[in-house]
Amino acid sequence: MTDNSPQDDDPDGAGAAAPTAALDPWGADTVADYAALFDEFGIERIDTVADALPDPHALFRRGVIFGHRGYDRVLDALAAGEPAAVLSGFMPTGAPHLGHKMVFDEIVWHQQQGASAHAVIADLEAHAARGRSWAEIDDHTRDYLLSLLAVGFDPDSGEVYRQSAAPAVDALAFELGIHANLSELQAIYGFDGTTAIAHMQAVLTQMADILEPQLEAPQPTVIPVGPDQDPHIRFARDLAARMRMFSVTEAYASFELTDAERALCAEVYAARETYAEDPATPRCAEAAAWLRTEAAETATRGSLVAKLENAGMEPLVPRARVVATGAPEAALDALIEQVDGEKRRYGAHIDSFELSAAALASLARAVELAHGGYGFIAPSAIYHRFMSGLTGGKMSSSDPASHIALTDPPADAAAKVRAATTAGQPTEALQRERGGDPDACPVYELYAYTLAGDDDALTETVYTECAGGERLCGDCKAQAAELMEAFLADHQQRRAAAEATLAAMDVELTSPRGRD
């Protein structure tokens, strides 16, 4: 997720060439307007799903995790005790910092909720897209893994791998590459003719990472990331669908429907008593006539009426439909045979009049798996806010004063906190009179993301005292500095204790790719 190096750190210039892609995985980790992520990019708000959690993590409670795609699917699986996975990846380009610690927390929390947990060291990406040497990468890899363990990752039930030593991921990346072309990478990432091919390969490797937990068996998977990674998430969801042999939809007649048309068609079907000569078999033409007079005029009505008229005397009957989207003939034949009850085949479609869409989908997935397919479920994601830099601007890995590394000597980290920029008033008198702006304060963020841990009373106190002018920045920073020192001392003790665990783990600490 968050490497915060500036764009000129990008050897082949692909990040710099990216203004076409408003969210840039290799650009700066800042978001000007979080609300635009919902409206323009289709990220969904977390509130509704997070509110339903019996015991949400502090990052949900404090709005740090603000958005998601398809996360309900993962939560449903976890609540039902069904398999689910969590995976995220880290580019070992510098020391791990508090932004990475947040992702470690997200992975560990899902692991504790019962998810199978996966952590990826994105060393191929660091090498290809950031130009890091293998020696540097190996150093940082150790540091990431020690901190991951220190935060509570259980290596016995979880998996850690590095991209450069994961043949199954490599093989999947190659297969995925069959379904991706250059124009698409240009459109998604702003790549151009000067982009290094290895950088493009690193994209496919990340797509394979995101699907890696499903190589064992298809399962809902959540990828915790910053919003800069959303282009990767969307692409992975697309590729997962393109790898399928079958797709399942709901239909009412031989023609296909858009989602909007399907919703309207359901209403038309429900009203069949009012217009059908024989309500047991309403005809498409009858439905069209009713729709034209009864429903408000919209583009959806127009297109649905045309489809219904075209189908004429065909009966309007709800059905689950499976479409072969790249299934070998043998798989399609096997599926047809296994669909119980009334069914009809039109070319590469099979309509079932008795199975629900969900039942048909799980049957199709089983047949796909039996015929050498992957049966991928679209991966889900949750998105967290970026931490601000301590010195005002964005947090940057290349500017040590702007962030606190998990390997910083605790006393140095405390000094950085005491020197941090705040969103308080310039004088004590004004602070008492008007209060500070905790929502815009990097020091408040330290409390909310890290220092308060699970203690909501502390974040609330800091917030209200700050906004109410009872809290002065000097005192606030002194308290934060003290907490930071204690937090890091403890974290580093855990890191030291994790050395032995790491040595016993099945992960390559020296990349097989390095020649030095």
Smaller CB separation from ligand TRP, 2 or 425: 2
Q: Tell me the C-alpha to C-alpha distance, in Å, between residue 222 and each of 58, 76, 95, 488.
A: 18, 12, 25, 28
210 binds, among ligand SF4, ligand TRP, none (CB under 5 to 8 A by kind): ligand TRP
* Of the residues 18, 115, 225, 367, which one makes contact with ligand TRP according to CB under 6 A: 225
- 466 near ligand SF4, judged by CB under 6 A: yes
Smaller CB separation from ligand TRP, 223 or 404: 223
Helix, strand, or coil (residue 354): coil
Longest dimension (CA), the chain: 83
Among the candidate windows 71-79, 208-216, 378-386, 440-448, which touches ligand SF4 by CB under 6 A? 440-448
* Of the residues 74, 84, 91, 452, which one makes contact with ligand TRP according to CB under 6 A: 91
- For residues 115 and 135, give the distance between their C-alpha atoms in angstroms, rounded to a whole number: 33
417-436: contacts with ligand SF4 (CB under 6 A):
422-424, 436
- 176 near ligand TRP, judged by CB under 6 A: no
Number of residues that bind ligand SF4 (CB under 6 A): 14
- 88: nearest Cα among 159, 154, 26, 35: 159
What's the DSSP call for residue 199?
H
| 3-state DSSP of 427-471 | CHHHHHHHCCCHHHCHHHHHHHHHHCCCCHHHHHHHHHHHHCCCC
Structure tokens that stand for 120 in this block: 């990826």
Site string for ligand TRP, 1-20 (x = CB under 6 A): x-x-----------------
Helix, strand, or coil (residue 508): coil
- 151: nearest Cα among 53, 49, 57: 57
- Buried b / exposed e over 187-215, threshold 16 CB at 10 Å, is ebbbbeeebbeebbbbbbbbbbbbbbbbe
> Minimal distance in Å, beta carbon 266 to ligand SF4?
51
120-139: contacts with ligand TRP (CB under 6 A):
120, 122, 125
Smaller CB separation from ligand SF4, 340 or 460: 460
N-to-C CA span, the chain:
27
> Minimal distance in Å, beta carbon 234 to ligand TRP?
13
Residue 135 near residue 514, CB atoms below 8 Å: yes
Smaller CB separation from ligand SF4, 399 or 437: 437
> Minimal distance in Å, beta carbon 209 to ligand TRP?
4
Which residues would be at the binding site for ligand SF4 (CB under 6 A)?
Answer: 422-424, 436, 438, 441, 443-444, 462, 466, 471, 473, 476-477
Which residues would be at the binding site for ligand TRP (CB under 6 A)?
Answer: 1, 3, 25, 87-91, 120, 122, 125, 206, 209-210, 223, 225, 229
